[in-house]
Amino acid sequence: MKIGLEVHVALTTETKLFCGCPNKVVKEPNTETCEYCIGLPGSKPQLNAKAVECGIKIGLALNCKFPPEMFFSRKSYFYPDMGKNFQITQYEIPIASGGVMHVNKKPIRITRINLEEDPARIVHVGTITKAEYVLLDYNRSGVPLCEIVTAPDFAGTKEVRNFLQELSSILEYLGVYDPNIEGSMRIDANISVAETRVEVKNISGFRDVEKALSYEIVRQQNMVRLGEQIVRETRGWDAVSGVTRSLRAKEGEEDYGYIFESDLPRIVLEKGKIGHIRKQLPELAAQKIRRYQRMGIAEELAVAITTEPSLADMFERVSREVDTQLAARWFAGEIKKTLNYSNLRMKETGMKPEYLVKLLKFIETGKLTERTAEIMLREIVKRPEDPEAILKGKDIVRIVDETALMEMIKAVLNENAQAIIDYKSGKKEAFNFLVGQVMKKSQGRGDPETIRKLLRSKL
């Protein structure tokens, strides 16, 4: 089995690819448009230099080669999502080509990287098969897309998922892509179980990729088993029904009648400029993980911290001030968990590094137990505030006072006669159960070490 991908990534430039309209997601349809991006006759494109820079960054990160110069072409087709009946894209000379990306040590060849404009968004009123009419939103028309084309190097859906996760991380670290924008990564896949290649278009999101590919693989395998002929065609992924449907017999690239886009100049890609961009490339997740490991951080913690650039960035600022291991454990564990639970990324919280420094220092110095620190963390992720101020208004400081803890232990032992019997008959877990009960009674504030010590003496 062979799978190849075409990944379309919406670049996060300020403006669109060929006009000055803002490149942002707005609810109100058809408000961020101009003569060019709705395709009025006579309007001319102007190339966004920042988008070219993004393309170069991606090419560099994926170990590609660059042509000395490039140009754009018109891909002609008639469809309402492109008012001028052609899309400006790259065909003859892509911005970058011949790259490679390693996923779990397996090389995946990057055939080419193109820049192109996104068409308008088509909204089917009702379901895609039953809609009586469609609506068009030209806000998306002209958004810069980077198309990343791989060789058919994937042997299964798991490899595809790992590749997309890694690619998404690289693009986010490069600062050219935002995975939180809906539909910012759309995938077409070529799948051949036997000889014939079938293209599945318009898959968005990682989870859908696995579903769409699995469906298509099983469909083709069944046809082979029944001795049926697989047709070379383009199929669409219907995410609602979870099936692929035939869209059209596969057209060849030549059917699009590519012609040179004469309204745009040829673009020279100077070696010096590419070298300059290379020097400014940020550290990517894979490099960060290696550096963290050199700092003595376990690989699985390093991987967890680097899944999101703003989390890694915050970790680096905080870990300078507190114990590195404690910070690593908390960032990979409790902090990440709390963010995930609130469906937030670190950069969206408005968190200040000094707040997390203070919180971790409370644990380091024993002012808070890890349990109460977790509770405080949840508060400051929701509403960033100085942990010291929160501490003043609350009774959450760690309890080490032995008299107070002993009172709680006595109460717990009174309530749990069976656990004492179990403990005395040699059941170790009964002891941990009793410690847990005392912790609960202290509302998470009791110092676990002192509780263990006192409980042992009491038993």
Nearer to Zn ion, 19 or 189 (CB): 19
Using CB atoms within 10 A of its CB, is residue 457 exposed (0-12), middle (13-18) or buried (19+)? exposed
Contact call for residue 7 and Zn ion (CB under 5 A)? no
Contact 73, 259 (CB under 8 A): yes
- CA–CA separation, 383 vs 377, rounded Å? 10
Contact call for residue 30 and Zn ion (CB under 5 A)? no
Nearer to Zn ion, 36 or 215 (CB): 36
DSSP letter string over 255-320?
GG--EE-TTS--EE--HHHHHHHHHTPPPPHHHHHHHHHHTT--HHHHHHHTTSHHHHHHHHHHHT
Contact 189, 5 (CB under 8 A): yes
Applying CB under 5 A, among 5, 7, 11, 37 the residue interacting with Zn ion is: 37
Nearer to Zn ion, 117 or 447 (CB): 117
Distance of CA 149 to the CA centre of its chain: 19
The span of 21-29, 45-53, 259-267, 391-399 binding Zn ion (CB under 5 A) equals: 21-29
Applying CB under 5 A, among 1, 34, 223, 281 the residue interacting with Zn ion is: 34
Contact call for residue 38 and Zn ion (CB under 5 A)? no
Contact call for residue 435 and Zn ion (CB under 5 A)? no
- CA–CA separation, 157 vs 393, rounded Å? 52
Contact call for residue 128 and Zn ion (CB under 5 A)? no
Nearer to Zn ion, 30 or 202 (CB): 30
Contact call for residue 51 and Zn ion (CB under 5 A)? no
- CA–CA separation, 212 vs 209, rounded Å? 5
Does residue 438 sit in helix, strand or coil? helix
Nearer to Zn ion, 21 or 451 (CB): 21
Applying CB under 5 A, among 11, 17, 21, 380 the residue interacting with Zn ion is: 21
Phi, psi dihedrals of residue 206, rounded to the nearest 5°: -65, -40
The CA-based dihedral angle spanning residues 128, 9, 346, 382, taken in that order and rounded to the nearest 10 degrees: -20
Nearer to Zn ion, 36 or 86 (CB): 36
Contact call for residue 380 and Zn ion (CB under 5 A)? no
Nearer to Zn ion, 19 or 381 (CB): 19
Contact 153, 5 (CB under 8 A): no
Distance of CA 428 to the CA centre of its chain: 44
The CA-based dihedral angle spanning residues 196, 197, 201, 203, taken in that order and rounded to the nearest 10 degrees: 100
**Tokens of residue 310, six digits:** 């703003």
Rounded least distance, CB 35 to Zn ion, Å: 7
> Pick from 342, 308, 340, 315: which is nearest to 330 by CA?
315
The span of 37-45, 102-110, 149-157, 316-324 binding Zn ion (CB under 5 A) equals: 37-45
| Beta bridge pairs of residue 268 | 69
Torsional sign, CA 249, 254, 255, 258: positive
Q: For the window 161-190, what string marks contact with Zn ion as x by the rule CB under 5 A?
A: ------------------------------
The span of 30-38, 72-80, 131-139, 399-407 binding Zn ion (CB under 5 A) equals: 30-38
Contact call for residue 327 and Zn ion (CB under 5 A)? no
The span of 29-37, 199-207, 349-357, 434-442 binding Zn ion (CB under 5 A) equals: 29-37
Rounded least distance, CB 184 to Zn ion, Å: 19
Contact call for residue 47 and Zn ion (CB under 5 A)? no
Nearer to Zn ion, 118 or 147 (CB): 118
Contact call for residue 143 and Zn ion (CB under 5 A)? no
Contact call for residue 43 and Zn ion (CB under 5 A)? no
Rounded least distance, CB 118 to Zn ion, Å: 12
Rounded least distance, CB 87 to Zn ion, Å: 15
DSSP letter string over 130-145?
T-S-EEEETTSTT-EE
Contact call for residue 19 and Zn ion (CB under 5 A)? yes
Q: Which residues lie near Zn ion (CB under 5 A)? A: 19, 21, 34, 36-37
